[in-house]
Structure formats: C-alpha cells, structure tokens
C-alpha cells in the first residue's frame, strides 16, 4: 500500500505544487543558474528552485549533506508526514529506507577537488567528505532522523535506480523483512562535471533559446534530454498494517519487472529486447493481461534512439492494446532526474490513478512516424486509471518497470 508521497522537483518543492504544474503542462526548464555553462554546448537544465536547506533541514545538518541528500531528506520528511506515519518506536524498528541515486554526492566531489587540487592540500579535506559523497548517505540520514531500523541501504542502477529501489522495497515487505519502507530516489547533478560529461556525449538538448520547449519526448524533432534534479519519496506499507491503522491509501504496488539489455553501456538495444522483457515480466509479476493496463508513464527522455526503443517495445508487448492505452512522459516538464526519475514519475503515476488525471507529454508538435502511440499530447486527460506502469531504463542496460493499481476500498 502506498500511504505517503513527498517531492522536491523543478516544478515545485511540495506534492501539490508539483502535481498542479504537471497537469497544467508547465515546464521547469530554464537557463542554468548553478554554474557558468558558457563553455558548454548546453546552457539549460531543470533546476530545483527556492530550496533553502538551512531552513528546511537545519544549518548544521544541511552542511553535512550533499545537495542530493538534502533533497532526499526533505522529500522523505514530507512523505512520512503525508502518511501520518506512527512515531511508535516498535513500528519504526520494523520500517526501513531504500533511497536510490544514480551518481550520489558528485557536487561534494567537484567542490572538494576544485578546492584542494591547485595546492595539493589533501590533508585539509573535510572529515565529512566521504559521508557526504556516499551513495547511501541519503538512506542513512533519513534512517537516523526518523529512527527507522529496518532494512536500510541504497540502490544504484543509473536511471533505473528509483524503480529498482521501489521493487526492492516492495520485496522487503512481501518477504516479511519490514512492515513499511521509505523508498524513492534523489539526484543533484546540475554541475560542470556532470553537464560536461553528458554534453561531450551529445546526449543533451541544446535548444538553449527555447528552454521550455527543449524536452520533447516522442516528437520527431527531439534531439536530447534536459538534465534535471530533485527527489521523490514514497511510503510503502504492508496491507494489513496500513488498513489496521486506518491509513489513507493512494494506490497499491502490484508488481515489477526487471531486465538487462546485455548490449551497450550507453545505448539502448535497437531491437528493444531488454525493455520488452521488463514490461513482460512486470505484467507477469502483477498477474495482469496487457489489455488491463490503462496508462504508462514512459521513461522517454527525448532522445532519438531511447524514445523509439521504448515505443517499439510497448507495441511488441501490448499488441493492439498499445494503440488504446495512454502513454506520456512527464520528463517533458521536469527533465530527466537520472536516479531520481523513477521516484518522481512513480509519484505522478500514483496520482494519475488516485485523481483520475493523466499528465500530458508537452512539446509534442510533430509526430514521428516511427513512434505511433497515444502520447497524451500537450493537454492532461481526465480519465479513470485503474492500472498504471512506470518505466525506467539506465546506462548499463538496466531496465525496471513498476506496476501500480487502484486500491479498492
């Protein structure tokens, strides 16, 4: 059962602001403010705005966290509060934390390297350097703050990380290892080294003059993704525990599917075999027929090869129903949050079920004849959603799909 949601995103730093922006088709993309990008090809990103960690976390604690962990902390706080999660130590002892990140504390690494390299003053590195850069720092900090002593660690599988984290959290509850889990993911990579790396791969959109129109999944004129940052957190609870305490339930987790492309470290398999396997395994795990799925929140990042591979995989797995179900990419608005993408898009999928509104794919202007599905172009759609899938695919050929369903009260 999903009982709590928390979001820190380029569209807003609380759940309702984020959701309102999504269903109204607003873009969170703009000129980069975090650093001087003038030497790069790309000068735009989807940055989190008006985020004051000293106020939200406390000055002392915030200074001991990388920006990605700060995002995770605030999102988790919001999700726990949203769930009305019990403060009982006996319950929190059986509650764990699995928060993903694709890269971890890269801002800490860049800042420290810049500070010490010119002089070689490595003996002056902060004692908090390693605890801040760790990929597991977000999970550890949330566990300590809230006294959560269940299974606690991180998952890193590039842009599939959050979906894998949610799958593991689901399994921990199903196997009886926990009665509840805080899960999701966080990322903060709008910095010179990360942007420079993606820029050198020609992976990013360079539509610098029109930032709000740069991310255009499935559109014929897509030419790269827009880097984003932020965090999403979800509270998963064991069914009887959630019902017993009278929790408000947004939706249920029905299953998941995972696979590997076994093809290339950074390019999708042009035959979409791994992606198709992930969708097929997700249907099998959830015990669903293809025609029972109403909506897919697609991974679609706005890259020529990736969007095509996913669209073709959906056609292959869902057959004729592929042309009936709704498919949209909210990355058109919040950009690509890498290891946090699945968490934020999972929240969008859960709310689509809970509120019967499917967020649109904005900037869809010129249909691609090879991408032939219903991408909910430009305007949100009010429709009943009983079953939704959220897909995530990462460098390394990692594929993960989560299945959510409406809770029958």
Residues carrying an active site annotation: 159, 299, 336
CA distance 341 to 318: 24
Beta bridge pairs of residue 5: 234
Q: Give the count of alpha carbons within 13 A of 353, CB side only.
A: 28
Residues with Cβ < 8 Å from 379, sequence gap 6 or more? 25, 360
The beta strand positions in 206-329, using DSSP E, are 230-237, 252-260, 295-297, 326-328
Nearest Cα residue to 345 out of 327, 322, 372, 363: 327
Q: What's the rounded Cα separation, in Å, for the pair 44 and 206?
A: 8
Measured CA to CA, the distance from residue 210 to residue 195 in angstroms comes to 18
Give CA–CA dist 94/216, Å, rounded.
43
Tell me which residue of 249, 338, 335, 230 sits closest to 14, measured CA to CA. 230
d(CA 370, CA 305): 11
Is 26:368 a contact under the CB 8 Å cutoff? no
DSSP 51-73: --HHHHT-HHHHTTS-HHHHHHH
* Spatial separation of the C-alpha atoms in residues 204 and 409, rounded to whole Å: 44
How far, in Å, CA of 251 to CA of 381, rounded?
19
| Alpha-carbon distances of 162 from 96, 166, 220, 324, 341, rounded to whole Å | 15, 6, 28, 27, 7
Neighbours of 379 (CB within 10 A): 14
Half-sphere exposure of 322 (CA within 13 A, CB side): 17
User: β-strands 30-31, 44-45: how paired?
Assistant: antiparallel
């Amino acid at each position: 059962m999903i009982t709590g949601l928390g979001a820190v995103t380029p569209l807003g730093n609380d759940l309702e602001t984020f959701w309102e922006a999504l269903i109204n088709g607003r873009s969170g993309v703009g000129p980069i403010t975090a650093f001087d990008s003038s030497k790069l090809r790309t000068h735009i990103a989807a940055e989190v705005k008006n985020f004051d960690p000293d106020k939200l976390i406390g000055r002392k604690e915030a200074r001991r966290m990388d920006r990605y962990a700060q995002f995770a902390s605030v999102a988790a706080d919001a999700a726990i509060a949203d769930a009305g999660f019990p403060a009982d130590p006996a319950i929190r002892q059986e509650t764990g934390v699995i928060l993903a990140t694709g890269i971890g504390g890269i801002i800490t690494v860049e800042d420290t390297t810049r500070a010490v390299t010119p002089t070689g003053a490595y003996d002056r590195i902060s004692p908090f350097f390693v605890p801040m850069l760790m990929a597991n720092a977000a999970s550890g900090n949330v566990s300590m703050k809230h006294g959560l002593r269940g299974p606690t660690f991180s998952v890193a599988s590039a842009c599939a990380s959050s979906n894998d984290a949610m799958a593991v959290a689901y399994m921990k509850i199903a196997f009886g290892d926990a009665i509840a889990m805080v899960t999701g993911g966080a990322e903060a990579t709008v910095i010179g080294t990360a942007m420079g790396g993606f820029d050198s791969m020609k992976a990013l959109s360079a539509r610098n003059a029109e930032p709000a129109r740069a991310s255009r999944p499935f559109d014929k004129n897509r030419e790269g993704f827009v880097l984003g940052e932020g965090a999403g957190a979800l509270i998963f609870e064991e069914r009887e525990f959630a019902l017993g305490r009278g929790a408000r339930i947004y939706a249920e987790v029905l299953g998941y599917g995972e696979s590997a492309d076994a093809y290339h470290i950074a390019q999708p398999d042009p035959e979409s075999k791994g992606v198709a396997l992930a969708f097929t395994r997700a249907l099998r795990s959830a015990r669903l027929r293809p025609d029972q799925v109403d909506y897919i929140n697609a991974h679609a990042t706005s890259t020529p090869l990736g969007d095509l591979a996913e669209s073709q995989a959906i056609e292959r797995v869902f057959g004729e129903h592929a042309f009936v179900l709704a498919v949209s990419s909210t990355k058109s608005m919040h950009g690509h949050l890498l290891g946090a993408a699945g968490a934020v898009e999972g929240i969008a999928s859960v709310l689509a079920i809970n509120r019967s509104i499917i967020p649109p794919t904005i900037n869809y202007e010129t249909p691609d004849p090879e991408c032939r599905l219903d991408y909910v172009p430009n305007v949100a759609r009010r429709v009943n959603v009983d079953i939704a899938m959220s897909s995530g695919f990462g460098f390394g050929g990692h594929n993960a799909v989560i299945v959510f369903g409406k809770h029958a009260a």
